[in-house]
Amino acid sequence: MQLTMPLDMHLHLRDEDMLHNIAKDSVHTFSGAVVMPNLVPPVTTKESLLAYKKRILDAIGDEKFTPYMTLFFKPSYDKAFLESIRDELTAIKLYPAGITTNSEGGVSGFDVEELRPTLQAMSELDIPLCIHGETNGFVMDREAEFVSIYEKLANAFPKLKIIMEHITTKQSVEALDRHENLYATITLHHLLLTLDDVAGGMLQPHLFCKPIAKRPEDRDALLKVALEAHPKVMFGSDSAPHPREAKESCGCAAGVFTAPIALQVLAELFESKNASVENLQAFVSNNAQRIYGVKPMDKTVILEKKPFKVPSDYNGVVPIYANQEIAYSVKEVIYG
Amino acid sequence: MQLTMPLDMHLHLRDEDMLHNIAKDSVHTFSGAVVMPNLVPPVTTKESLLAYKKRILDAIGDEKFTPYMTLFFKPSYDKAFLESIRDELTAIKLYPAGITTNSEGGVSGFDVEELRPTLQAMSELDIPLCIHGETNGFVMDREAEFVSIYEKLANAFPKLKIIMEHITTKQSVEALDRHENLYATITLHHLLLTLDDVAGGMLQPHLFCKPIAKRPEDRDALLKVALEAHPKVMFGSDSAPHPREAKESCGCAAGVFTAPIALQVLAELFESKNASVENLQAFVSNNAQRIYGVKPMDKTVILEKKPFKVPSDYNGVVPIYANQEIAYSVKEVIYG
């Protein structure tokens, strides 16, 4: 099986030691990825964005890969600033305050007029807005409750591309078709898991993430649009590394580490559901190219149906399916 | 505040080292507790019941306390056997197969005729049936799905006292008033927690239990009947010790360890909700005495409003509120 120019439209590469520990393994099979800006402090200036990009390029060494850089949303970015950074900027990521890892400086309340300066400028400059859409309500309701905010913003800024990031519910899937300017990323783990996998048997910290995996009917709704390669959905791993000790402890951090084996597992999943390779190709690349208007660097990933034993960890970060066997292996990655 | 003859109608004391590690702390403030039989192998004979009782009495040493012993439900206990053990037996505990810790030998399917030999004998001998009521469905639905099984058994054996153990949902609360012979225990932690506390922020393995904590409206329904001391509800801690390393690991065991501070926290909870000490007394003792027809040994627990710092662990078992301060302390436990 051959996938060309695979893209991960939602990736956490972190910084410093963690960046160096996981960067190469996270990007090896992708032509590019939208890199999240929730560092400490978050990426909010041209200087910090360019410096972070340089650190990423240093960390990946000889891997051929484009980090699509993002800013951490602030309500008052002005248009001149965004114009000055436009060539280096792929999207802006909006976090509700305190909703996930390193999101303390995010948005509280979603008053359209308060957000207008940045959103109007983004709309005019055609910069996509990526949103982690959760309220601070009950954990199983947070995303469904946020749909009305997605819709309010979609209505207020009809030319702004709004990406509902890592959607987990049928309510978000349904919203896709109600608004021309709403799009979505879907992770690998939300195509695989429900809350049963996280907390139905033993509690599984390495499968705990935000948004938390939801009900079977939610996963089925996600699977449907992914497998049919709905033109408004894209693969975004939300691969989020934490050290093993931050996961297996009293107070486990949120995030599932999937990037190194994401394409392989997606290949197995699509095959098991009788979805075509063409649909997988659209889900992991073509849809994103069209929605974001990006031209990824040439990279072809050849997968073969040969069992692969997933490592127990990648430099101390435990991946999904650690120590388990998956059906597909990476045979070759061809550049250029 | 003074509580007389407090009873814990659902307690795990385990066996061997764990029994010795937690027995005294688990029973100190209670006159008696219904002790769960899910050992490996489970308690299913008179010999193993008496031997386990002896091990418990050895482990608690000079604590004054009555272990109310239970058998692990089997469909084919005959009446002569149950009669022979009646004086030593307080209840029989039914587990659906594989539903929680050490429940592999439990019941699969709930065919009334298959269960009739034991249930008919129990009904005739007035032995209460305690049930862990969960299906193997989606984790948030398991208990609500089981309500129809509770109702089927309640209808089929109208003179059998059926205790819905550690209820967590409003559906179970509502079933209480539909069937004269349905009763319930409620834990401390299900009066305090929702899934938000377990998985809404960081993942909290020490708050992970089965049944898992549910939605806010479920907790509110439990609180209502506990605080008003509904005559058919009793306190049952389901205090369930696991070693720290079985909780803080990849694949965390289910159970919250609460017994050593349960009365103190209940006192704080009832006070904070303006419920009377009389209702607390009924919830932690009088209702259970009436429902089970037990006469506990004299024990009076004097609580005082004085901050108590909960230990980080009791011999390696991490309790709820570890390292935190609670409002009430045990001033004195008076025997006889």
Residue B79 has pLDDT above 90, yes or no: yes
Inspect the interface and report whether the beta carbons of B198 and A199 lie closer than 8 Å: yes
Rounded to whole angstroms, the Cα distance separating A217 from A19 reads 36
Rounded to whole angstroms, the Cα distance separating B230 from A190 reads 42
Q: Which of B8, B25, B218, B238 is catalytic?
A: B238
The list of chain A residues with pLDDT below 50 reads none
Q: Report the pLDDT value the prediction gives residue B154, as an integer from 0 to 100.
A: 98
Residue B250 has pLDDT above 90, yes or no: no
Interchain contact A80–B (C-beta under 8 A): no
What is the signed CA dihedral for A30, A36, A39, A42, rounded to 10 degrees?
Answer: 140
Q: Annotated catalytic, B62?
A: no
d(CA A239, nearest CA chain B) in Å? 17
Residues 145-204 of B with CB under 8 A from A: 194-196, 198-200, 202-204
Closest to B11 measured CA to CA, from B3, B2, B28 = B28
Inspect the interface and report whether the beta carbons of A202 and B248 lie closer than 8 Å: no
Instruction: Collapse the DSSP code of A21 into the 3-class scheme (helix H, G, I; strand E, B; otherwise coil) and give the result.
Output: helix
- pLDDT tens across A205-260, in order? 999 999 999 999 999 999 999 999 999 999 999 999 999 999 988 888 999 999 99
> For chain B, how many helices (H) and strands (E)?
13, 12
What are residue B41's phi and psi, to 5 degrees? Answer: -75, 165
> For chain A, how many helices (H) and strands (E)?
13, 14
Among all residues of A, which ones are annotated catalytic? 238
Query: What tokens were used for A69?
Result: 């850089």
Q: Report the pLDDT value the prediction gives residue A243, as an integer from 0 to 100.
A: 94
Inspect the interface and report whether the beta carbons of B248 and A253 lie closer than 8 Å: no
By the 8 A CB rule, do B184 and B193 touch?
no
Inspect the interface and report whether the beta carbons of B205 and A138 lie closer than 8 Å: no
Residue B201 has pLDDT above 90, yes or no: yes
Inspect the interface and report whether the beta carbons of A138 and B196 lie closer than 8 Å: yes
Inspect the interface and report whether the beta carbons of A254 and B203 lie closer than 8 Å: yes
- Residue B65's pLDDT band, with cuts at 50, 70 and 90, is very high
For residue A254, which residues of chain B lie inside 8 Å, CB to CB? Answer: 202-203
Q: Report the pLDDT value the prediction gives residue B243, as an integer from 0 to 100.
A: 94
Rounded to whole angstroms, the Cα distance separating A212 from A207 reads 9
Could you tell me the maximum CA-CA distance found in chain B, to the nearest angstrom?
Answer: 54
Task: Return the DSSP state at A297.
Answer: P
- Residue B291's pLDDT band, with cuts at 50, 70 and 90, is very high
Query: What tokens were used for B169?
Result: 């949902």
Q: Report the pLDDT value the prediction gives residue A285, as an integer from 0 to 100.
A: 98
Q: Report the pLDDT value the prediction gives residue B102, as an integer from 0 to 100.
A: 85
By the 8 A CB rule, do A251 and B203 touch?
yes
d(CA B208, nearest CA chain A) in Å? 7
- pLDDT tens across B122-177, in order? 999 999 999 999 999 999 999 999 999 999 999 999 999 999 999 999 999 999 99
Query: What tokens were used for A258?
Result: 């999937």
Inspect the interface and report whether the beta carbons of A252 and B198 lie closer than 8 Å: no
Residue type, A294: V
Considering only the beta carbons, identify the residue of A202, A215, A248 that sits closest to B138: A215
Rounded to whole angstroms, the Cα distance separating B255 from B319 reads 10
Q: Report the pLDDT value the prediction gives residue B266, as an integer from 0 to 100.
A: 98
Residue type, B136: N
Closest to B27 measured CA to CA, from B258, B331, B281, B253 = B258
For residue A97, which residues of chain B lie inside 8 Å, CB to CB? Answer: none
pTM of the model: 0.95
Token pair 């069992």: residue: A307
Rg, chain B, Cα only: 18
Q: Report the pLDDT value the prediction gives residue A11, as an integer from 0 to 100.
A: 98
Rounded to whole angstroms, the Cα distance separating B68 from B91 reads 8
Rounded to whole angstroms, the Cα distance separating A238 from A26 reads 11
d(CA B26, nearest CA chain A) in Å? 22
- Residue B33's pLDDT band, with cuts at 50, 70 and 90, is very high
Enumerate domains of chain A plus CATH numbers: 6-258 (3.20.20.140)
State the DSSP H helix or E strand holding residue B228, giving kind and residue range, or none if neither. none
What is the signed CA dihedral for B217, B220, B224, B225, rounded to 10 degrees?
Answer: 70
Closest to B269 measured CA to CA, from B319, B209, B321, B318 = B321
Interface confidence, given as ipTM, is 0.94
Rounded to whole angstroms, the Cα distance separating B80 from B280 reads 39
Q: Report the pLDDT value the prediction gives residue A99, as an integer from 0 to 100.
A: 85
For residue A140, which residues of chain B lie inside 8 Å, CB to CB? Answer: 140, 195, 215
Chain A residue with Cα closest to B215: A138
Strand boundaries in chain A, DSSP class E: 2-4, 7-11, 32-35, 66-68, 70-72, 91-94, 129-131, 162-164, 182-186, 233-235, 299-304, 308-309, 325-326, 329-335
**A332 - beta bridge partners?**
A302
Closest to B127 measured CA to CA, from B98, B160, B103 = B160
- Residue B101's pLDDT band, with cuts at 50, 70 and 90, is confident
d(CA A206, nearest CA chain B) in Å? 7
d(CA A306, nearest CA chain B) in Å? 27
